[in-house]
Structure 1
Amino acid sequence: MQCKQCMVYVRDRPRAIALCPTRPPLSSRVPGAATAGTQVLVITLRDTTNRGRHAPAPGSDPRSAIGCDLHLADVSVLRDFSVLDADPVYGCVGVIYHERDVYLALVTECDFVCQVLPREAAYSLRRVSFLSLSSAKYDDWQRYDPNPTEYDDPAVGSSSGSGYGPHPCQALSQYLAQASFFFSPNMDMTRNLQARYTDCISSERAVPYDVKYLWNHFLLKPFLRFRASLDRAQQQYLDDAAFLVPLIQGYVGSVPLPHASVTGPNQLCIVSRSSSGRAGARYLTRGLDDMGNVANEVETEVICLLGTRCYSTVILRGSIPLFWEQSGLQISDHKIQLTRSAEATEPAFRLHVQALLQRYRRVHVVDLLKGRDGGSEYTLSHAFHSQIRHLQLPDLVRYTHFDFHAMCKGSNFANVELLVDRVADSVKAFGFFLIDLKELRILRQQGGVFRVNCMDCLDRTNFSQNALSWATLAGYLRVVLDQPASVMSHIRQEHAQLWVANGDRISRLYAGTGALRSNVLKSGKSTWTGLLQDVTKSVSRFYQNNFQDQSKQHVMDILLGKTPEARKIHAYLATYDVVRRHLTAQADRFLRRQSLTFFVTTFNVCSNLPRLSDVEKWLATGRGHAQPDAYVIGLQEVVDLNVSQVVSGDSTKRFQWERLIIRALDRIAATREEGTRASGDDDDESDAPEPVNYVILTSEQLIGACLMVFIRRSLAPHVRGVETTLKKTGFGGLAGNKGAVALRMQIYDTHFCFVTSHFAAGPTNYEERNADYRSIRDGVTFGNGRAVEDHQYVFWFGDLNYRLNLSYDQAKSLLAQDRLQEMRRYDQLIAQKAMGNIFHNYYEAPITFPPTYKFDVGTARYDTSEKRRTPSWTDRILIRSAGYDPDTADLTDDVHDGLQEDAGEDDEEDEAGGAGRGLKFEILRYISYPLTTSDHMPVLALVRAEVVEVNRSVRRQLIQDISKELAVATRPGDGKVGSPPTASDSRRAYLSPPSLPPTAKLIDVEPSPSTADETPKATTKLYHKKPPPPPPTSAQHKTKKPATTATPVILRLPPPSSATTQWWNEKRTGSNGDGDIIPPSDPLSSNPFRDSALSLEKATREAALGRTGVGVSCNGETTKVAAVELPDYLDDIFESHADEQLDGWEPIKPSVEI
């Protein structure tokens, strides 16, 4: 079956690439249609001279975003282009910034796989070529591309290419060609049949694909945003032309069913879709993330086509939805570590289950892990079952444990039928999806799904899924086919063969080799040959997982936009700016601000463990203030920093500290509750504080440095995006005796980063300590390339080891006189910070406590040893909130400027947001605590920090309201130049930003041939109302400016634009300097709000969780929004995120009884 193709045209100056379909789409053949005639898709980089922050030149700051212009144009524009001397392509995979350039990815070779349904074909990628959007250097792609093998080959190769040498995108091209990517030009492969047909019948779908299974979503984002801005006719043309190629990863295969005595096409097909939400290699990506995504999550659909009736059933696999890790340097025993407590895991686990219930209505979990004698596997299985029990949803979520190894011991794999018997009730209740394709009539829907897992969801899972799938399919076939047992046996063998191929493909993608026990699934019995093959695969897995997965993971992260070098590419739409400006002005309607209290402490424990009573007193130091919402504890020298500890990295002491702190916090909470009752407040229960108990969120250790975070149990549902990372600085970055542990997390919609560090020692080694600071600041990166200072708040604390430039006797003398203020003049950290060498824009509260180092262990005496180390403030806590200066309790100047001048600018920043412009914080206490079990004393800070929460439902409604106003405002008046403005004309002038290019013709006159090359000049008079000024500052509240009245303005029209010259990309001349614009005489042709509010409803679905960065101005008790960074909480209002957290925890119950 022939796939749709496009010809590629290029233009050098200015650089542009155009795609023209080789055959006109059906929608272009309708007479009188809005898209009648062939149109081409033109892609260009946005001119850097036009609002340059939208499109930094390739090779500039790797953290900024890039803008591109997309538009559908008449085929006549190709007269300025030249056709590329190459074969037609099969569509566009997307655009990507890589190796300091921007590339357009095109499918240049593909293979036909099968017809999933009549006239719905599936293809596999064979070759993806990358053309530069900035130069013609790589236009001859056939000389640059590597020569990838067929998609069946599992390994990601590293050939050097041919002709001109390796292409910069060679590794990405090879991965796309060899990692089982599939697409279809005439069907949506990201959704199963039931989702496709029920969505089509029940409602108009705002988003064309399911982004959960759309692997090139990051590359396609600007195209999807552009598509959302088109009217329906243009969208239909874009889809019919198959310009865009949505990719799924997984497996597609089919076999004919010649023995089925049904008239028409008879075939059995399997389509597996791997989720891109938590994609990665085996030992690098395990378990759950805070968005509810799990590793190796695959939806497998079995499709049986008999005549006009199509059967479909879906079954899932996915890693155990807990936070856990497993080391890869093992062959037999797999040591597993749960990295987050059950309480802290619960919110993300609920998100995972909620997403399953919304998609499939009911879920039956089949757990194949080992039982009580299974060691680590049993620990994981027990924790999983506990989370399910805690849901208390027995009618919606069922759990069955089936110890596969024990039940099928001795190669008795036929015992898997015992599993089918155990879940027979669900097999019958869930059923399958059935549709009559001729009448497009749904006869039955699948009412639930099996979620099957083992450790890696590979071998045991595939074997069991085959049995469950056949149980459902056999029940259907016995009803519709009147065939003898031999025919059913043949169909069962074909079904098993498909599952063998499916299991091998998924196993290669995740673990690097084919699935184990494939021979048993093929033949139904175990053989020596099969055992030898399994041993070979196990050894190969060990090698792949430990020595090749890192490079494979890196290429995967490039594709998904998760590398530090990744840059967003935005499709520029004029109407997008209008919506952003109005949301900025009304941000206080959907932003809620509140304060949280953090207890932050650092303690070099000298490898000693204090008593429980001492820890309780230490952590209860802030009892006079509000109960902390979180305890953030940084410890240093948890273990002795000797050679054996540096090599082994023992975690025993860390676990002891965790248990000790939890016990102390429980005792503190109990003491507070008793104190409340004793105070006699029991009579007024409404004023009694709720009992507070804490759960450990996470902990991480780098040899001696350890970071632990404990949060209120009630706060846990609002915490997500938790990541930890380590940075070694000892011995030139090779050893972990010195270094840092960093953690990032998002509370509500505010981003926090906590860094606890241990710097180089030595009285005079401040330069080494400065280098440690810079190494950690610049070297620590989290997911999506976030750095330490890409967060609204940064708390940096630890044994920073900065000393006093005093002798021992001088320091002791000043201490005896209590002259702490004078001692601070000799502090190295204060001096280096004042010189701008370290901790720029960090704040430390005034030090009012004596030096915390060095003491004789067990006493409060400073060092009496022979070395007599000078008492110093080595243990410190510093805080950063970008744009906020606590000394003035107000926003810094750059934020005030942004409020008054740039509130409407398109400052596209990183997701973590420019770090939240001036969120207010207050240090309530900054003291040391006299704990004498170490040669240091702990330092603590009680900090009240302002956080922001986005009300997404209010924001969604606000976007819809703005869209309606915009639709009204863009309706034309009487169209006569120079006539007084109508109400809609005035509103249009108000809504449109000054730089908005009108899409209508500026002069409705065609130039004569004799003057075609001349620059026409024309002046005209029209009435224009200026946009209102920004909201007044506090100093401006006293006076009110009179309302602006319509005044006649003389405007000189610019020359008309052409395919190569656009006046809006050039320097504006002849304007009055006030930003006057010409209201278009026609509605904006690209207005996405014109047809329905549905296109705007998709706005908030695409906003990823926790992209809020706001600046606040605090005056007394009032708090006002100051400089709101829209990209943080409004990343792209024209896109749709499937992973946005849903409001509340309300599982959707089945609407139809099956």
Structure 2
Amino acid sequence: MKLYFNEKPRTFIITTNTHALIIRHPNPIYKHRSIRGLIPRHNRRENDKENNKVLVEFVIKDFINFASFRDITPKVGKLIGFLGLLSLKSKVFLGFITKDEIVASPTVDEKIYKITGTEFYCLNNDEYDYLLDREDEYSGYSDTESTKYPAASIRKLLSSGAFYFSKQFDITSNIQERGFTKAEFQLIADSPYFKRFSWNSFMLGELLEFRNRLSPSEQKIIDTSGYLVIIMRGYAKSVNTEVAGSEALMTLISKQSCAKEGPLFGDWGCDGNGYVSNYLETEIIIYTGKFCLSYVIVRGNVPMYWELENNFSTKAILAPSAKKVNFPRSFEASQEAFTRHIDRLATQFGDVHILNELSDKSYKGVLNAAFEEQIKYYFEHREQANSDFKLAYTHLPIPASRVKKIGYTSQNPSDIIVTFSDSAVNFGALFYENSTMTFIGKQLGVFRINSFDSLSKANFLSKIISQEVIKLAFQDIDIELNKDLYTKHARLWQENDEQITKLVLNYVSNRDKLHTSNVSHASSVKSHITKKYLSSVVDTNKPNELALLKLLGRLQDQQAITLHNPLHDFVAKELSEREGEFTSESDILLFASTFNVNGTIFEGDIDEWIFSENKLHDLVFIGLQEIVKLKPGQMVNTDYRNKAQWERNILECLLKRDKYMTLWTGQLGGLVLLLFVKESEVKYVSNVEFSFKKTGLGGVAANKGGVAVSFKFSDTSICFVSSHFAAGLNNDEERHHNYKTLVKGIQFSKNRRIPDHDVVIWVGDFNYRINLTNEQVKPLILQKKYTKLLQYDQLNQQMASGESFPFYAEQKIHFPPTYKFDNGTKVYDSSEKQRVPAWTDRILYLSRKNLIKPIEYNYARNITFSDHRPVYASFQVTVKIINQAIKKSISSKLYETYKLKHHGLQDIASLSYDVDKRLIDYENRNLPPPSSDKDKWWLEGGKPAKVTIPSLDNKNNDLVVNPWSPINPFTRSNEPEFVSLKELEEMLN
């Protein structure tokens, strides 16, 4: 990456080998040097609104003539990544990472870098251009420069070793969220949850929106080239260890949140959105050549409105009993904030178990009592909130003396473990088998540690949970871990505690330090005595805090940058208008099927099922349920081999007819999603993503829920969903609730959900029943009166009323109920339970653009090993095919229209999306030149625009405009428009 600069017009260009990001300011302020220093050449009024406007374009590098530019890439170090645009004191700065060092490697393909050097360049003012010519390495600016250079403190802050980034993945995500696909860097930091960990989100805000408006290929270049680097603040480190005789990497990553309004650190509660002070998400990762284990724990201050009273007497500082907790908002307001906090966790992780470390003594006891009232109220009114997750709560006060006594050793206290072990088992952990690319298990819930300052005690409990989860997960696959791993694990958590505590205490105001348990009373008194002014919100007199606020854009005089990219907008508009030149439609065949296999692997012939129509489908999507029998006490699903066997059997069957390959497989407990594609069609498939959601409110982990895969077939977005809903004749309302949970909870990058696709196919064992008795149902089945039966089908009734699956469609059912049979027979349930036959296995589809044409809907009657029957459907799907070569050629010609390559950069400040007529190549399109206020294209020779009125243009008459004629020409009147001068005189007399 290189940086080029042109003084007039003031322009910066960031380049890679192939592309260039052009950044300009429409109204830069130029000054010149003199012996006495920098003297303004003019006194242009610095308008914040105008100063925050920035022009940006992303073009192919070859289109630019660099003759007037000079290379200002740092002579020492290098440009590693672009941090974004920062507005400070009416000036706009470009921020770059110039130095880094590798500190962690979560997997062999991923690296985490600590930022050790940054640089900032002023975009709209040449006052600091003398800094561009430095050729030596320097540790910082001089005292004089630091005082007057607004970005000096930000540079120092970002180079302090507390910030991290990755070139391979978005560091605001954890492994479970970004998956294990070998796809390139995927940016997700602009979605709500992850944005809280992006510490340069203020700098990147509009740039991310700019990126999102680019084409997919351009977005890919942006993400992989370092044009937009996301940074997090916290801790990251990897150590080498051993698992079952194989080399392993163990990594700990902690991300501090910057989302809360007001103080981010210290003794404070939450804001109105439920964001809390001292919020931290920590992920432990163990990676070997065969497995990858990942587990996430979160912690933070008490999620309700509270603060310590502003009582700064020496007595209050020295005596904890003199401290007092204030609750500045009502109970109801705190409940709303608490609910938002918990709901956000549930949306991201699933179930939530709160471990409350607050003491029940002193002022912390008052806070604890208030919090438990919030918990009690929440549980009492939870049903009214229609919560889709399970919330557990445990009060677990741990004395500081015990933390000190036990320390960070490989031993785990059993009395603490027993309080959370059941949730640890039910939540599971992400466990991935690398060789088969299989999810053995997923983390379906999260521990939320609740403490006063979320520091040492919270870290200590996190370490205990992490160690127990690691032990249970590897025990599940019969691997005993050695003591060295646990020792190194404890050391990582100890370093994490030291680093996070340091980051909190160094960037918290003295007002908050007075109440932090980690600071001695003596130093607190000294801080109090020497402090002249204590802010109740933030102490802006501290350089560290001030720099932090600058970075986050929270100073009163900071305004967000507004980006304009007129050239790119015009090209995008032109491409849209010429879409027909590179876009066509094509029909593909899609096979979808659902089958509850009842925990069985079938080795027999499945041609009747897979090739029932004897058609060659382009996409084959199969959802399986109950692929394994889950047992209580399992932490991860160790029977992943069942999925691998079913995948192999189905693929072998497909290969009998044509060349197919496995595009994606996903598993959640007993749920499996298999997606196969013809090899000839693979080139059209991109952006493959996997998501899941658990819906079971009780029982074993992941016994019910949904898995989904999202991808693009050329330019058409497709989503396949496989789900398993609650069983039981009378549980139709719970099944409706399962549907709502999946629609709300399954989400992909950019916050896209299931309905946000062009085509949706949803299969599963929905478990909807028929509201009739056996005596009523079975005769109707024999008579094949399926239409009559469907009148009493619960799913049919809910779809008709618009409750479940609104806007979805289902092909007409011409086959008997597919549940429940005696295994190995065609006889409906003859057991004591005598379950009523039902169409539990269904295939629904959705396309608001009418892209789906249903072809077939049936079942495989002779596949009898399970108590269900396979149900399958065939569809013709119309997809949009884009010829990327033609599109790229048209795009290149549009850029070349402006002759960037031959005549340098145009003045893009004068270009506007609203007046794009002046961008058009009028000569080649046989169009007249654009008109202006004076010259109109319809007048010959560019004559000034004028209107000729024949009645007044005759020099021989003396007519004038009648002053008594109505001003509005559409008003009816007997007055003539014009009168003679003689008539006018008579009227006036």
- The alignment's TM-score, normalised by the length of structure 2, stands at 0.51
2:196 paired with 1:177: no
Q: What is aligned with 2:239? A: 255
Q: Deviations over 1:438-484 (max 9, x none)?
A: 5443221101000002101111111111101111012223455755x
Equivalent pair of 1:144/1:162 in contact (CA under 8 Å): no
Determine the C-alpha separation between the residues in 1 that align with 2:256 and 2:207.
22
- Written as runs of structure 1 = structure 2, the 5 A alignment for 1:207-222 is 210-222=194-206
Deviation digits for residues 211-264 of structure 1 (CA, Å, limit 9, x no counterpart): 12111111011211211111011111112211221111111011110x43444x
Displacement of 1:325: 1.3
Distance in 1, matches of 2:327 and 2:145, equals: 50
Deviation digits for residues 356-412 of structure 1, max 9, x if unmatched? 111001100000001266543333433443354345269611110012129949946
Residues 1:129 and 2:92 are matched in the alignment: no
In 1, Cα distance between the equivalents of 2:276 and 2:187? Answer: 26
In the other structure, the counterpart of 2:929 is 1051
- Give me the whole-angstrom Cα distance separating, in 2, the residues matched to 1:541 and 1:147: 36
Structure 2 residue 24 is the aligned partner of structure 1 residue 44: yes
Matched residue type, 1:567? Q
Q: Does 1:67 align with 2:54?
A: yes
What value does the CA root-mean-square deviation take over the aligned residues?
4.6
* Higher CA-based Rg: 2
Of 424, 427, 432, the match for 1:430: 427
Q: Which amino acid letter does the alignment assign opposite residue 507 of structure 1? A: T
Which of 205, 211, 231 aligns to 1:227? It is 211
2:10 to 15, 23, 39: 15
Cα distance in structure 2, aligned partners of 1:394 and 1:245: 35
SS in 2 for 1:505: helix
The C-alpha deviation readout for 1:510-549, integer Å capped at 9, x for no partner, is 22399xxxxxxxxxxxxxxxx9997889789989996995
Contact 1:120–1:187 (Cα < 8 Å) also in 2: yes
Is 1:342 aligned to residue 331 of structure 2? Answer: yes
Cα 1:344/1:532, change in 2 over 3 Å: closer
- Please list the CA deviations of residues 892-934 of structure 1 after superposition, one character each: whole Å capped at 9, or x if unmatched: xxxxxxxxxxxxxxxxxxxxxxxxxxxxxxxxxxxxxxxxxxx
Judged with a 3 Å threshold, the aligned counterparts in structure 2 of structure 1 residues 1001 and 62 are, in CA distance, closer, same or farther, namely closer
Q: 2:89 aligns with which of 95, 99, 124?
A: 99
Shift of 1:327: 4.2
Spell out, residue by residue over 1:128-185, the C-alpha distance to the aligned partner (whole angstroms, 9 max, x if none). 2110112444345478999998xxxxxxxx9845879752211222222226110111
C-alpha change, 1:9 and 1:430, in structure 2 (3 Å) is: same
How many Å separate the matches in 1 of 2:335 and 2:196? 22
* Counterparts of 1:354 and 1:180, CA distance in 2: 30
Shift of 1:79: 2.8
CA distance in 2, matches of 1:337, 1:498: 36
Per the alignment, do residues 90 and 395 of structure 1 end up closer, same or farther by CA in structure 2, a change over 3 Å counting?
closer
Residues 1:93 and 1:426: Cα distance change in structure 2 (over 3 Å): same
- 1:243 maps to a residue whose letter is Y
Structure-2 change in CA distance of 1:146 and 1:343 (3 Å) = farther
Asked if structure 1 preserves the Cα contact closer than 8 Å seen for 2:285 and 2:294, the reply is yes
1:345 CA displacement: 2.2
Q: CA deviation at 1:489?
A: 2.3
Q: Does 1:321 align with 2:291?
A: no
Answering whether residue 491 of structure 2 is matched by residue 491 of structure 1, we say no
Aligned-pair CA distance for 1:349: 2.1
Structure 2 contact 189–230 (Cα < 8 Å) conserved:
no
Q: 1:299 is paired with a residue of what secondary structure?
A: strand
- Partner of residue 78 from structure 1, selected from 63, 66, 72: 66
Amino acid of the residue matched to residue 995 of structure 1? V
CA contact (8 A) 1:466 1:496 kept: yes
In the TM superposition, residue 420 of structure 1 has moved relative to its aligned partner by: 1.6
5+ residue gaps, structure 2, are 30-42, 509-516, 574-847, 850-878, 892-911, 940-989
Q: Tell me if structure 2 keeps the 8 A contact 1:283–1:327.
A: no
C-alpha distance in 1, partners of 2:352/2:108?
31
Aligned-residue offset at 1:114? 2.3
2 CA distance for matches of 1:433 and 1:456?
29
In the alignment, what sits opposite 2:971? none
- Does structure 2 retain, via aligned residues, the 8 Å contact 1:370–1:403? yes
2:5 alignment partner, SS class: strand
Task: Please list every run of 5 or more consecutive structure 1 residues that lacks an aligned counterpart in the other structure.
Answer: 1-5, 25-37, 50-55, 150-157, 515-530, 581-956, 959-963, 976-991, 1005-1019, 1023-1049, 1054-1066, 1075-1154
Distance in 1 separating the partners of 2:208 and 2:413? 45
Q: Distance in 1 between matches of 2:545 and 2:168?
A: 31
Cross-structure match for 1:241: 225
Deviation at 1:63, TM superposition (A): 9.5
Aligned residue number for residue 569 of structure 1: 561
Structure 2 counterpart of 1:466 = 463
User: Does the 8 A contact of 1:321 with 1:352 survive in 2?
Assistant: yes
Aligned-partner Cα distance in 1 for 2:424–2:526: 36
| Cα deviation, residue 43, structure 1 | 0.8
1: CA distance between counterparts of 2:50 and 2:555? 11
SS of 2:67's partner is: helix
Over residues 973-1007 of structure 1, what are the superposed CA-to-partner deviations in whole Å (9 max), with x where a residue is unaligned? x99xxxxxxxxxxxxxxxx9642367664545xxx
- Judged with a 3 Å threshold, the aligned counterparts in structure 2 of structure 1 residues 504 and 205 are, in CA distance, closer, same or farther, namely closer
Q: Which amino acid aligns with 1:126?
A: T
Which of 417, 420, 424 pairs up with 2:417?
420
Contact kept in structure 2, 1:132 and 1:138, CA below 8 Å? yes
* 2:495 alignment partner in structure 1: 501
**Which residue among 535, 549, 559 is the counterpart of 1:557?**
549
Cα pair distance change 1:179/1:561, threshold 3 Å: farther
Preserved contact between residue 143 and residue 164 of structure 1 (Cα < 8 Å)? no
* 1:137-176 equivalences in 2 (<5 Å): 137-139=127-129, 141=131, 160-161=142-143, 167-176=149-158
Q: Distance in 2 between matches of 1:65 and 1:292?
A: 31
> Structure 1 residues 206, 120: closer, same or farther in 2, change over 3 A?
closer
Relative to structure 1, the CA distance from residue 539 to residue 436 in structure 2 (aligned partners, 3 Å threshold; closer, same or farther) is: farther
| Correspondences of 1:543-692 after superposition (within 5 Å) | 549-550=539-540, 551=542, 552-574=544-566
Cα distance between partner residues in 1 of 2:448 and 2:475: 25
Q: Distance in 2 between matches of 1:536 and 1:501?
A: 26
Paired residues of 1:7 and 1:19 also in contact (CA < 8 A) = yes
AA paired with 2:492?
A: L
* Residue in 2 that maps onto 1:399: 393
Aligned residues: 565
Shift of 1:127: 2.2
| 2:170/2:186 contact within 8 Å kept | no
SS in 2 for 1:404: coil
Deviation by residue 1:787-846 (Cα, 9 ceiling, x = unmatched):
xxxxxxxxxxxxxxxxxxxxxxxxxxxxxxxxxxxxxxxxxxxxxxxxxxxxxxxxxxxx
Structure 2: distance between partners of 1:281 and 1:323: 13
Q: Which residue of 1 aligns with 2:639?
A: none
Whether the aligned pair in 1 keeps the contact of 2:102 and 2:111 (CA below 8 Å) is yes
For 1:777-788, list aligned pairs within 5 A.
none
Find out whether 1:117 has 2:90 as its counterpart.
Answer: no
SS in 1 for 2:367: helix
Q: Distance in 2 between matches of 1:306 and 1:58?
A: 61
The C-alpha deviation readout for 1:280-305, integer Å capped at 9, x for no partner, is: 65776721111221111111000001
TM-score of the aligned structures, taking structure 1 as reference length: 0.44
The residue that corresponds to 1:304 in the other structure is 286
Taking only the aligned residue pairs, the percentage that are identical comes to 21
Alignment of 1:888-899 (within 5 A): none
Kindly state the Cα deviation for residue 564 of structure 1 after the two structures are TM-superposed.
Answer: 1.2
